[in-house]
Amino acid sequence: MKYEKIKNYKDEAFRRLSGVKRSTFKKIIALLEKAEKNKKEVENQMR
């Protein structure tokens, strides 16, 4: 299920559908965004 569909659900429903607490999910997203930013910086340096 896509995040856009469940992001407005209550915390209990969000956890049931995603398998993690909303706070944990937000931490995961922050880590992924940071990794993606670093990846793009490395790609730009290689050009």
Model confidence, pTM: 0.74
Phi, then psi, of 9 in degrees rounded to 5: -70, 160
Q: Which two tokens stand for residue 3?
A: 């995040």
pLDDT at 31: 97
DSSP assignment of the chain equals --HHHHTTS-HHHHHHHHSS-HHHHHHHHHHHHHHHHHHHHHHHHH-
Could you list the mean pLDDT of each consecutive 10-residue stretch along the chain, which spans 47 residues?
Answer: 88 94 95 95 88
